[in-house]
Structure 1
Amino acid sequence: MHLQQPETDAILRGLQDSCTILSGFVAAIPEEALHRVRGEGFWTIAQHVAHLADVQPMGLGRLTRMLQEDTPEFIPFFPDEETNSKPAPPPPVQQSLADFQKGRQAIVDLLTGIAPADWARTAIHPEYQQYGVQIFARHILMHDHWHMYRIEELWLTRDAYLTSMGG
């Protein structure tokens, strides 16, 4: 796989910029909207922000393994299946944003320091046909944007137009 520097630079900028976008975006949302439940099975905005913070250590761990091990193997990560009980209430949104920033900065610092050839390192993951540093770094970015889109939708979309995530 031949990687071009502009692509990896764009991924790094996007990963860094997600913190600024999310923080500014959440600051514009009224406090009462952060914890509003929009429907059965819908996460609140605060839960989306907490989830983004919660997955940063997993992302850093996977990237670290890919850079230290030859073709590491991973198992799927389904946080809802990690616990058998009802999820705990999310922490205060400002704490989640701070945790997201801290975790993301560690990921950006790690990726900023790697050699261009390291972006092509591969791994095995049963969910994906291909997996590796560059794919996973891009995946993290797309995951951010999916949740940020969902946050915006939960905040601004009228009930009749809200996307249902059910089967």
Structure 2
Amino acid sequence: MRDDEFMVMRLRLERMLVEDAPSLVPFDEGAWAASRWTGRDSPGELIADLRMQRAASLHILTRLSDAEWGRLGTQPEIGTFDIHWWVEHWVEHDANHLDQVATSLGLQR
């Protein structure tokens, strides 16, 4: 979730802000997970890093103008969408990851 925050979600947001309707290539989580370095994956480090990354994302979102919320991006499997839709998708995406964490810990959300 931490890496997804800045490598996928925020990077796509930033591209939509500076490029005209960029084509956002699907992210291959399986290939990435198989080749990533896990040296900073203790629970405390993951949570601290996620907080820092989320703060950076929120910093951007709180400064968007009305016009910027309407900027577009496209993905082959989704089609064309605006930043407002992207942020709603982001929230749903996070909820799915939190459900996965709860399940892996044997907790119910």
With the shorter chain as reference, the TM-score category is 0.7 to 0.9
Q: Give the SS at the match of 2:26.
A: coil
1:76 to 26, 29, 46: 26
Cα 1:101/1:85, change in 2 over 3 Å: closer
Q: Give the SS at the match of 1:156.
A: coil
2:54 to 92, 96, 104: 104
In 2: Cα distance, 1:155 partner to 1:82 partner: 23
Query: Percent same amino acid at aligned positions?
Result: 26
TM-score by length of 1: 0.57
User: How much is the aligned-residue C-alpha RMSD, in angstroms?
Assistant: 2.3
1:113: how far off? 0.1
1:90: how far off? 6.4
User: Could you list the runs of 5+ residues in structure 2 that have no partner in the other structure?
Assistant: none
Q: Runs of at least 4 residues of structure 1 off by over 6 A?
A: none
User: Could you list the runs of 5+ residues in structure 1 that have no partner in the other structure?
Assistant: 1-51, 158-167
In 2: Cα distance, 1:66 partner to 1:82 partner: 23
TM-score by length of 2: 0.83
Greater strand proportion: 2
Residues 105-157 of structure 1 show CA distances to partners (whole Å, capped at 9, x for unaligned) of: 11111010010121111111111033231122111111111111122222236
Cα 1:117/1:155, change in 2 over 3 Å: same
Alignment: residue pair count: 107
